Amino acid sequence: MAKAHLHRRYRFSASHRLHSEQMSPAENQSTYGKCNNPHGHGHNYVLEVTVSGQVDENGIVCNLVDLDECVQREIVTRFDLENLNMRPEFADSVPTTENLCTVVYDILKRGFGQAHLERVRLEETMMNAFEYDGS
């Protein structure tokens, strides 16, 4: 049996504001710059999910329909066209893309058992990307 990695990309758009209650207005401004704008701003996020496993007798690592359904239900529906600051997942943390990355990883780790979750990668813009592998 051969092991393979499968990558699947999804898209969602959301707004956020980077602001920490633990910081003074001046520190928030110096830490987050334009991202501290009180009205927030948005991104078209690209989420790349990587799962791995043995290629089975059907020639697949996992059922792609099931993976798509899981990611749609657990991530895309949850975050698409939402304000991340208002979501309970970020009640105690700043919705940086680093933190969004770990939130998405933890949700998918719990929610998808058909293959090993290797990594999630979030592209915030064409120039910035973040990856988390649970380590």
Q: Which is nearer to another protein, 61 or 84 (CB)?
A: 84
Backbone φ and ψ for 21, nearest 5 degrees, come out as: -65, -20
Q: To the nearest whole angstrom, how small is the minimum distance from the Cβ of residue 27 to another protein?
A: 9
Q: Which is nearer to another protein, 77 or 93 (CB)?
A: 93
Q: Which is nearer to another protein, 54 or 93 (CB)?
A: 93
Distance, in Å, from the CA atom of 84 to the CA atom of 121, rounded to the nearest integer, reads 18
Quick check: 50 and 120 in contact, CB under 8 A? Answer: yes
Sign of CA dihedral 54, 130, 23, 86: negative
User: Which residues within the stretch 63-122 sit at the binding site for another protein (CB under 8 A)?
Assistant: 93-96, 98-99, 101-102
Q: How many residues bind another protein (CB under 8 A)?
A: 24
Distance, in Å, from the CA atom of 70 to the CA atom of 76, rounded to the nearest integer, reads 9
Give me the residues that bind another protein (CB under 8 A), please: 18, 20, 22-23, 31-33, 93-96, 98-99, 101-102, 126-133, 135
